[in-house]
Structure 1
């Protein structure tokens, strides 16, 4: 019997780092997932932004007050997990078609580049050891096997996932210098007391991109830097508003992806 050769995995698309409003960043990631092709990018938000995970159905009243006062923007992430404050951090998005079905293997492969990058800085990271709790609303209030922290137990990277028809979107929030005053306003306490980074933000971003290019499983077939096209920007503009959370009424809890096919692991949802 003749067997046709397996189709080669397409090269991983690298997108230039960006700084846009939070709702736009979420719309970009959702578009990349819809394309079902390997992709990776780093980004930040133009204005301090609180992103809520897909499964969060309760918005703290003081979050709405902070958003109404213009202190933060409120957006809905397409991925799961708990609330993430996008300020003093870097977010990465990885799209990985047809990853392993083993949860442990997928998380390990999707995060190895981060572990190696921080080890090279003398700041080793390891998987979290706390069980997920239904109580804390902050992604960084707990640290599970989906997350990465230092030996002291302090969490550096929070992870969240969305599976759509066998394709994975992994989000990660990498804390750099979270603003203490804003963190207290949002979460009612101080941010994690992280070891000081030995390099500046620009150098860290460069090293993270290099590590992703070299080590991500989706990069095995090579990688190419490809900015968003004008057609893609049109699609993003058409959906961006749906990722912002309204400040009044129960409609603020609606998700823009409520009707989309999803695959989750019931026993191990990422903490944030």
Structure 2
């Protein structure tokens, strides 16, 4: 039994179904089933009464849920205690993709500032390919970027969160599935040179979905604005549901299982500010876990 299995069990128990737990943990339904089965096998009990629809917690499951919550709280407190024992000072120049700026970064930076008031972090926003070059040239100390498609020379990348990749459409759009929306409306492409765009194109090619491309934009906000005005649909990574509400668009997952991208912290191998980036990565992991988007 590990922390990951307990987090998955709590997510399923609190949300009422395996599929909802899978969505909350951003893992596949088979992975959730396997983790729950592992817990049941280890303890020799049934955590859910599967004869009922939807499945409900057994008495043993209710007991484990209470203790699992306590364990997860203690797990977070252990990390906090260790971090508080090591005060950090210095400066860090950080690059970040836009979606992280509106999701995990604010929480992570607030945590770091509380634990290490002497640590100064300057943040630049941009896109993954640009930050990869800046890292190699020593222009930044670290960067939050999506998973590189190839190994970057002399760069180490550590994943910490997943972001869903969604089909966004005007609120009044009638299609209920990703394929229906993509076939019914013109397509607004996210810049094809961005790493995430390659992931999207590969997924569409496998399903042989033909798009009627109408424009190509660099900005997620600009794409959402165009979609909200009824000019088409698009496929983009979304860090938080507030983005959808703000731009007045609706969204459906892309594919089954839903497609997502992994984001992580990249730094040069042998980074002289390794202690600072380690503290940052720890804060990012905790922020992602609390938001339900950890890897």
Bigger fraction of residues in helix: 2
Q: Normalising by the residue count of structure 2, what TM-score does the alignment of the two structures yield? A: 0.21
Compare CA radii of gyration and give the structure with the larger one. Answer: 2
Higher RCO (CA-CA < 8 Å; seq separation 6+)? 1
Q: Normalising by the residue count of structure 1, what TM-score does the alignment of the two structures yield? A: 0.23
